[in-house]
Amino acid sequence: MSTKIRLKRFGSKKRPFYRIVVMDSRAPRDGRALEEIGVYHPIAADAEAQVRFDEEKVKEWLQKGARPTNTVRKLLNNNNVTVK
């Protein structure tokens, strides 16, 4: 089973809110997640409130072979979690 770390959309129209989740790569975007490891709120005024995640869980899933999407990779790199 190939896993990905990606965003799962919540919120209303024009007010997005995302959860950073680990999912099977074949699952739909808003489908069942294996684990929720953080949140991303792009509209938040405070930069610290925009992205929150459990760094330990992220590193654990990366070691297990989960591959982040481009957007999640950028969010993690901006928050000092190095992803190749």
Could you give the residue ranges of the DSSP H alpha helices within 1-84?
47-50, 55-64, 70-78
Q: What is the pTM of this model?
A: 0.88
Mean pLDDT of all residues in 23-31: 89
36-55 pLDDT per residue, tens: 999 999 988 777 779 999 99
Residue 53 β-bridge partners = 38
4-25 pLDDT per residue, tens: 999 999 999 999 999 999 999 9
The CA-atom distances, in angstroms, between 31 and each of 4, 6, 14, 34, 50 are 13, 12, 21, 10, 23
Percent of the chain with pLDDT over 90: 70
| Secondary structure element (H or E) that encloses residue 26, with its range | none
At position 28, the amino acid (one-letter code) is P
Mean pLDDT, the chain, whole residue set: 90
- Cβ–Cβ < 8 Å for 31, 42: no
CATH 3.30.1320.10 fits 3-78, yes or no: yes
